[in-house]
């Protein structure tokens, strides 16, 4: 029974090819879905459309007159291109962490480790760091220039692989453990990875086994505390378009491009068989296992896929900044991303995106601005910007107490979090038992909140059939109570 | 592939000379031949205002120094008149909570871009951390905006020092092939070297060198180790140069025991205050009550002494320039006035250099007399025998301050420490 | 050999402090399965309070009369224990109790939030720099009385043992032998059944937080007297080590936490001494993963709670 349903839902086969055709179908079906969304959730769709248009046009508006106005007429806390680019970078990270923590319910407190791995991947593959070799391929430097220089477009998939692999390597021994152990092990991992990058700057070792003898003296593997610089900026081959801090709003759109791909990918994952398995595990691991979900493999996949998003974010960050050092990757960054996810609405892609944009703005533009204003008026007053984390801490506590589902909640997740009393939990257990597995799966699809991209899983040809198969509204309502 | 975009990096060294005029930088005036492309038509848009930016970490442990820096910059520049122009000063913060109140690369780049995109910006004072300067210099280089730092001491930003800086430095920071960065303080290699000389004159032969695994601390400690080996001393640290301690550790007793067992007669520590120095000093003192400890100016501040307490007594401290209390002439007047204005509190070590950096900018603005970035840049790089509160300043072609000194102090039983000796500043 | 023994002594005294902090984690985890992230910061709060009491209120110096000093230290320990216990109970009431039946992630995130709140309040009130007191104990080597000079045990190390070991024994006795301890163990095993059997579950959980908070306070005072330094982010440094100890020993298991902490203290000391100080954290982490892979419930396994 279950397998049959899954087959229906997964008509594109596996692997990258399957996924690509899937994405193609998604994009093809966009206009129709958008029209449908507009009629069903009119207000929300209009609001989100306005927000998206604002975000897309903001860098241009900013360049045309906003920045000028702020400089000459009245100082406004406007995020500049760098900060908007970082909104995109943190958006990608938040979406990735949402897969781990939101979809699969695994708490990762060391997410910054994968961010660092992505950044160092870019640093190793597009900088003069390995100056004893010279590999230049489609890069923005002269042939024969020392170091490995690969284009950003090749680095991103490599960063995905590297971060994903490390995610799996870390997950393999630890995912068997209970959730809390996982939290502490990931926290440790997040602390260690930057330390390793920092320490491996002066490696001396001797290894000899019979005829094989490896001898390294003072090998600088990672650049140590100085980090690695300069890292080649992302660049569009055969054009003059370079995406670095000096090229205005170009990097913002590069970030947006990667973010949109991340969103599409995450949406598809959520709706796929694996996405439903994650939700099953999150709600009740034991029950999920009974239903035939391979929990270890499923969790491992969540971990690896989530990590790979941070890999993308990291490689973009390093390429954009043009330098990387282990100083950039601290526990507070992990927590900041976690707060973005929780504030926005854990489990809901649009929610966490909103959280990422809002908190990046608060951390990098708004609070420094307020700090500046305060320092001008009362120089002896402590800079309010440095109590950021007091505010963030209070937000975490208050959110858990009063609105644990976040500002843009995922409805299924909200129901789960709202079940605070024992009676509720029991009622919910009964209900879950009552709802048959297939209906459960369908319900989870039907009640998805986001805009435009909703319900795009099935291809155009099957859209109708799938629409028929969708769970009746009654189940949807029943689950919401 | 794209030959047209060929390595500004590789060619930089050659262009530097033609752009800035070698040993007498840009003295020839604004001839079109020497003017880099990035500097063409960089005149401000306002006819009444000139903007000066500073980018310093304004949160956390950094505020003890940076508050005084900002105060001095304001004093020298804010609201002053250059011809028809009024100078408007913007105090930007390059730290963020996401980075624990320390400098944040994103924010630094945003600040640099903000200044670069403001046509009326004529100078950028900063940064405090050398790591941040690495990110800001290239952005400002593309925008022909001059940067003057009161505090960056990492040598690789302006010159190559074997064993301390990385290959390719400093040219990688100047993608347009000309220099736009100047500093009014000496570099770590000079300070480390002076420390080594001092250690030798104190009769020390076996040093254990520690660092906090950060850019500044490691650069300084390595410079000391190199200098100490050069004057005939032995460095006992495991890798022969400098050994890192973990600033997040809860205890250093075992490390102290290791140092004791190695038989060192002195310990050199390259670190900044915030890296758990209180605990480090206490554990070392508790294992070896009488050993000589020497450290650089990263800990030359009151909050360090508050953190180490009596364990910091008799520590030898070097400062990478002339200490505030050793200033002469204008500097002495400034020092006395500062103390009088601040209820007897001595200025922090970098305070005078905040004033000096602002003075260099002020001097260049008045000499340029116009709101053209290139004119200001030329005049900053050509600073010669400029009287500042930190002594006369002359910049070389690299933007480094020439001459100057390294001041040596020893902590007695209270703060501030006692002046001991003045060393000539010379690199490795 | 002397060197090895010396390193062992250093590791032992550090391990005992880890144990004091680790017990607080394991106690709370044992009863409500929550990693009380704020516990490390409560420990920091305790050591900050002790710092202000010792150096500002009572102005203790090494020259203070021994009798006065002992009296004041005892008073400070008592005062700080009461204060941190009260804070911990308040935190439980505000941040954890309303989330008791929520998914496990919710109270954990709330705890992380509380940890940041405590840390930043300390930063706001005490500033970001290290705070230090003078070493109040004599600096003589205790072993020199026995004619040993190559190995040193100082007063601070002895003090840690003198305070910590009785506390550990008392706590174990309390949980194992008293009526309240039985209630705690019952609640840990099954809160619903315990409730039906007449155990006041809310009160028992509050009591656990009270004891955990008092322990954190005691540990805070011991740490400032031992290390003489405190700083607003101390809780994170110690918390990570203490939590790792608790997991290493088998979280929820009191004896396990002590064993884990002692093992961790030794790993820290021997790695600092014989490998390299900047690899210590990585080694600790590798050991933790290794233990968890081969013995997923930690060295001694879970005793107090095993209802997963």
DSSP state of B265: S
User: Which string of DSSP letters, residue by residue, matches B101-162?
Assistant: TSB-HHHHHHHHHHHHH-TTEEEEEE-SSHHHHHHHHHHHHHHT-EEEESS---GGGT---T
For residue B91, give the nearest of A330, A365, A375 by CB distance.
A375
pLDDT digits (tens, 9 = 90+) for C197-221: 888 999 999 999 999 999 999 999 9
Mean pLDDT of chain C: 88
Do residues B43 and B78 lie in contact, with contact meaning Cβ atoms separated by under 8 Å?
no
- Pick from A173, A246, A202, B153: nearest CA to C292: A173
Instruction: Give the closest-approach CA distance of C269 to chain A in angstroms.
Output: 18
**pLDDT above 90 for C19:** yes
Q: What pLDDT does A419 receive?
A: 57
| Distance, CA of C245 to CA of B4 (rounded, Å) | 59
pLDDT digits (tens, 9 = 90+) for A215-263: 777 778 888 888 887 888 898 887 878 888 777 788 999 999 999 999 9
**pLDDT above 50 for B30:** no
Do residues A113 and A329 lie in contact, with contact meaning Cβ atoms separated by under 8 Å?
yes
pLDDT digits (tens, 9 = 90+) for A357-369: 998 998 888 887 8
Instruction: Give the closest-approach CA distance of C280 to chain B in angstroms.
Output: 8
Instruction: Give the closest-approach CA distance of A49 to chain C in angstroms.
Output: 32
**pLDDT above 70 for C261:** yes
Residue C248 forms contact with B (CB below 8 Å): no
Neighbours of chain B (3+ CB pairs under 8 A): A, C
For the packed helices C155-177 and C2-32, what is the interaxial angle rounded to 10 degrees?
Answer: 30
Q: What pLDDT does B178 receive?
A: 92
The CA distances from residue A24 to A154, A156, A262, in Å, are: 21, 20, 14
Distance of CA B212 to the CA centre of its chain: 17
Residue C105 forms contact with A (CB below 8 Å): yes
Tell me the three state secondary structure of residue C287.
Answer: helix
Inter-chain residue contact B143 with A368, CB threshold 8 Å: no
Residue B362 or residue A217, greater confidence: B362
The CA distances from residue A359 to B102, B110, C170, in Å, are: 18, 16, 47
Q: 0.90 exceeded by the pTM? A: no
Band of the pLDDT at A185, cuts 50, 70, 90?
A: confident
Q: What pLDDT does B203 receive?
A: 94
Mean pLDDT in residue range B290-308: 90
Judging contacts by C-beta atoms under 8 Å, the chain C residues touching residue B286 are: 135, 139, 154
**pLDDT above 50 for A437:** no
Sheet holding A147-149, edge to edge: A126-127, A147-149, A134-136
**pLDDT above 90 for A117:** yes
* Percent of chain C whose pLDDT exceeds 70: 98
Neighbours of chain A (3+ CB pairs under 8 A): B, C
pLDDT digits (tens, 9 = 90+) for A408-427: 777 766 666 665 544 454 55
Judging contacts by C-beta atoms under 8 Å, the chain A residues touching residue C278 are: 195, 198-199
Q: What pLDDT does A283 receive?
A: 81
* Percent of chain A whose pLDDT exceeds 90: 21
Q: In which element (H, E) is residue A183 found?
A: helix A179-199
Residue A277 or residue A478, greater confidence: A277
Judging contacts by C-beta atoms under 8 Å, the chain C residues touching residue A225 are: none
Residue B340 forms contact with A (CB below 8 Å): no
Mean pLDDT in residue range A129-142: 83
Predicted-assembly ipTM surpassing the 0.95 threshold: no
List the Cα angle A45/A49/A50 in 5-degree steps. Answer: 120
Structure token digits, residue B236: 């006992």
Residue C131 forms contact with B (CB below 8 Å): yes
Q: What pLDDT does A443 receive?
A: 44
Mean pLDDT of chain B: 85
Do residues B204 and B233 lie in contact, with contact meaning Cβ atoms separated by under 8 Å?
yes
Residues paired with A205 in a beta bridge: A216
Q: What pLDDT does B358 receive?
A: 95
Judging contacts by C-beta atoms under 8 Å, the chain C residues touching residue A342 are: 109
Do residues B320 and B186 lie in contact, with contact meaning Cβ atoms separated by under 8 Å?
yes
Band of the pLDDT at A474, cuts 50, 70, 90?
A: very low
* Percent of chain C whose pLDDT exceeds 90: 41
Residue A334 or residue A441, greater confidence: A334
pLDDT digits (tens, 9 = 90+) for A338-392: 989 988 888 888 889 999 999 899 888 888 788 778 877 776 677 776 777 788 8
DSSP state of B393: B
Lowest mean pLDDT among A37-41, A313-317, B362-366, C238-242: A37-41
Inter-chain residue contact B255 with C135, CB threshold 8 Å: no
Backbone dihedral region for residue A388 (phi beyond 0: left; psi -120 to 50: alpha; all else: beta): alpha
**pLDDT above 70 for A2:** no
A 180-219 near B (Cβ less than 8 A): 191, 195, 198-199, 202, 204, 218
Q: What is the four-CA torsion angle of A54, A59, A65, A69, rounded to 10 degrees? A: 90
Distance of CA A180 to the CA centre of its chain: 22
Instruction: Give the closest-approach CA distance of A146 to chain B in angstroms.
Output: 10
Mean pLDDT in residue range C284-293: 83
The CA distances from residue B203 to A38, B67, B207, B241, B265, in Å, are: 83, 39, 11, 20, 9
Strands (E), chain C: 131-132, 229-230
* Phi, psi dihedral angles at A98 (to 5 degrees): -65, -30
pLDDT digits (tens, 9 = 90+) for B212-261: 888 889 889 999 999 999 999 999 987 788 889 988 888 999 999 999 99
Q: How far apart are the first and last CA of chain C?
A: 46
Distance of CA A235 to the CA centre of its chain: 23
User: Which string of DSSP letters, residue by residue, matches A37-79?
Assistant: HHHHSHHHHHHHHHHHHHHHHHHHHIIIIIHHHHHHT------
**In this complex, how many residue pairs, one in chain A and one in chain C, have their CB atoms less than 8 Å apart?**
136
Do residues C76 and C53 lie in contact, with contact meaning Cβ atoms separated by under 8 Å?
yes
Q: What pLDDT does B230 receive?
A: 92
Inter-chain residue contact B109 with A245, CB threshold 8 Å: yes
């Amino acid at each position: 029974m279950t397998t049959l349903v899954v087959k229906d839902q997964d008509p594109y086969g596996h692997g990258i090819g399957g996924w690509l055709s899937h994405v193609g179908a998604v994009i093809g079906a966009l206009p129709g879905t958008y029209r449908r969304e507009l009629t069903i959730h009119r207000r929300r769709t209009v609001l989100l459309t306005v927000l998206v248009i604002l975000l897309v046009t903001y860098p241009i508006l900013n360049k045309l007159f906003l920045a000028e106005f702020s400089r000459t007429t009245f100082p406004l806390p406007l995020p500049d291109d760098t900060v908007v680019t970082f909104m995109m970078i943190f958006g990608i990270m938040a979406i990735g962490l949402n897969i781990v923590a939101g979809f699969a319910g695994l708490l990762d407190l060391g997410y910054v480790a994968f961010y660092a791995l992505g950044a160092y991947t870019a640093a190793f593959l597009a900088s003069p760091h390995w100056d004893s070799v010279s590999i230049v391929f489609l890069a923005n430097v002269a042939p024969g220039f020392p170091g490995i220089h690969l284009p950003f477009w090749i680095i991103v998939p490599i960063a995905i692989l590297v971060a994903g692999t490390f995610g799996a390597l870390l997950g393999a021994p630890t995912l068997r453990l209970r959730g809390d152990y996982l939290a502490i092990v990931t926290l440790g991992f997040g602390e260690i990875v930057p330390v390793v990058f920092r320490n491996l700057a002066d490696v001396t070792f001797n290894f000899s086994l019979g005829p094989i003898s490896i001898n390294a003296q003072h090998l600088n593997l990672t650049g140590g505390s100085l980090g690695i610089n300069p890292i080649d900026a992302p660049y569009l081959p055969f054009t003059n378009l370079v995406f670095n801090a000096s090229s205005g709003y170009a990097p913002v759109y590069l970030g947006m491009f990667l973010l949109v791909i991340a969103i599409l990918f995450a949406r598809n994952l959520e709706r796929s068989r694996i996405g439903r398995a994650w939700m099953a595990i999150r709600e009740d691991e034991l029950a999920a296992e009974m239903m035939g979900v391979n929990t270890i493999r499923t969790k491992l996949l969540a971990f690896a896929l989530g990590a790979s998003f941070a890999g993308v974010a990291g490689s973009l960050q390093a390429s954009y900044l043009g330098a990387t050092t282990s100083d950039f990757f601290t526990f507070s960054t992990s927590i900041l991303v976690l707060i973005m996810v929780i504030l926005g609405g854990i489990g809901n892609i649009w929610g966490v995106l909103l959280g990422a944009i809002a908190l990046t703005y608060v951390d990098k533009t708004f609070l420094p601005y307020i700090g500046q204003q305060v320092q001008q008026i009362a120089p002896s007053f402590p800079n309010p910007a440095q109590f950021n984390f007091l505010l963030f801490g209070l937000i975490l506590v208050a959110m858990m107490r009063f609105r644990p589902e976040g500002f843009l909640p995922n409805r299924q997740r909200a129901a789960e979090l709202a079940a605070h009393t024992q009676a509720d939990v029991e009622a919910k257990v009964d209900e879950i038992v009552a709802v048959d597995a297939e209906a459960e799966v369908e319900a989870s699809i039907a009640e998805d909140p986001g805009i435009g991209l909703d319900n795009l899983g099935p291809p155009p040809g099957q859209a109708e059939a799938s629409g028929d198969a969708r769970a009746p509204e009654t189940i949807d309502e029943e689950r919401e109570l | 592939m794209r030959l047209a975009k060929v390595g500004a990096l590789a060619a930089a060294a050659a262009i530097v000379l033609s752009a800035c005029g070698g040993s007498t930088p840009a003295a020839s005036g604004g001839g079109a031949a020497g003017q880099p492309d990035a500097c063409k038509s960089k005149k401000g848009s306002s006819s009444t205002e000139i903007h000066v930016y500073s980018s310093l970490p304004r949160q956390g442990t950094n505020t003890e120094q940076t508050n005084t820096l900002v105060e001095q910059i304001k004093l020298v520049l804010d609201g002053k008149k250059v011809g028809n122009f009024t100078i408007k000063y913007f105090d930007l913060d390059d730290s963020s909570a996401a980075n624990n109140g320390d400098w944040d690369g994103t924010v630094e780049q945003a600040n640099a871009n903000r200044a670069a995109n403001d046509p009326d910006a004529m100078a950028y004072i900063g940064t405090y951390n050398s790591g941040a300067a690495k990110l800001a210099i290239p952005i400002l280089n593309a925008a022909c905006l001059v940067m003057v730092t009161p505090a960056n001491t990492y040598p690789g930003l302006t010159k190559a020092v074997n064993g301390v800086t990385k290959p390719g430095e400093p040219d990688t920071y100047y993608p347009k092939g000309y220099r736009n960065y100047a500093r009014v303080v000496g570099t770590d290699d000079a300070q480390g070297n002076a420390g080594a000389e001092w250690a030798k004159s104190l009769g020390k032969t076996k040093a254990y060198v520690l660092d906090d695994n950060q850019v500044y601390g490691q650069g300084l400690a390595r410079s000391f180790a190199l200098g100490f080996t050069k004057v005939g001393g032995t460095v006992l640290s495991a890798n022969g140069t400098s050994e890192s301690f973990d600033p997040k550790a809860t205890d250093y007793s075992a490390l102290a025991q290791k140092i004791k067992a190695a038989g060192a007669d002195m310990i050199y520590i390259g670190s900044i205050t915030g890296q758990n120095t209180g605990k480090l000093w206490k554990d070392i003192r508790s294992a070896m009550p009488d050993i000589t400890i020497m450290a650089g100016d990263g800990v030359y501040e009151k909050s360090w002494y508050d953190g180490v307490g009596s364990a910091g007594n008799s520590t030898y401290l070097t400062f990478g320039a002339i200490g505030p209390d050793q200033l002469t002439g204008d500097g002495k007047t400034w020092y006395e006035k500062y103390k009088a204005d601040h209820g007897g509190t001595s200025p922090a070590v970098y305070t005078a250099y905040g004033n000096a950096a602002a003075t260099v900018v002020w001097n260049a603005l008045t000499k340029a007399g116009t709101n053209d970035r290139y004119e200001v840049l030329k005049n900053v790089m050509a600073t010669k025998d400029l009287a500042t509160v930190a002594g006369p300043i002359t910049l070389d072609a690299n933007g480094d301050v020439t001459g100057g000194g390294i001041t040596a102090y020893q902590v007695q039983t209270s703060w501030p420490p006692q002046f001991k000796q003045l060393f000539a500043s010379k690199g490795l | 050999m002397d060197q090895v023994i010396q390193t062992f002594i250093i590791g032992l005294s550090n391990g005992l402090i880890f144990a004091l902090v680790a017990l607080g984690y394991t106690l709370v985890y044992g009863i409500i399965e929550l990693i009380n992230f704020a516990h490390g910061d409560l420990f920091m709060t305790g050591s900050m309070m002790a710092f202000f009491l010792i150096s500002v209120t009572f102005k203790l110096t090494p020259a203070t009369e021994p009798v006065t000093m002992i009296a004041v230290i005892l008073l400070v320990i008592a005062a700080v224990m009461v204060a941190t216990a009260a804070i911990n109970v308040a935190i439980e009431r505000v941040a954890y109790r309303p989330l008791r039946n929520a998914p496990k992630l919710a109270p954990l995130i709330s705890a992380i939030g509380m940890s940041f709140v405590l840390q930043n309040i300390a930063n706001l009130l005490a500033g970001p720099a290290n705070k230090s007191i003078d070493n109040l104990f004599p600096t003589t080597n205790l072993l020199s009385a026995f004619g040993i000079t190559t190995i040193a045990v100082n007063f601070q190390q002895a003090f840690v043992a003198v305070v910590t070991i009785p506390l550990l024994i008392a706590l174990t006795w309390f949980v194992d032998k008293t009526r309240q301890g039985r209630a705690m163990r019952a609640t840990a095993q099954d809160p619903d059944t315990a409730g039906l059997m007449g155990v006041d579950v809310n009160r028992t959980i509050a009591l656990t937080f009270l004891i955990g908070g008092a322990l954190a306070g005691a540990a805070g005072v011991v740490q400032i007297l031992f290390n003489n330094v405190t700083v607003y982010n101390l809780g994170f440094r110690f918390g990570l080590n203490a939590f790792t100890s608790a997991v290493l020993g088998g979280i929820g298991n009191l004896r396990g936490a002590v064993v884990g902490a002692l093992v961790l203290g030794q790993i820290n000391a021997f790695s600092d001494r014989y490998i390299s100080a900047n690899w210590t954290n990585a080694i600790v982490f590798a050991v933790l993963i290794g233990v968890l892979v081969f013995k997923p419930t930690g060295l001694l396994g879970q005793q107090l709670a095993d209802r997963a």
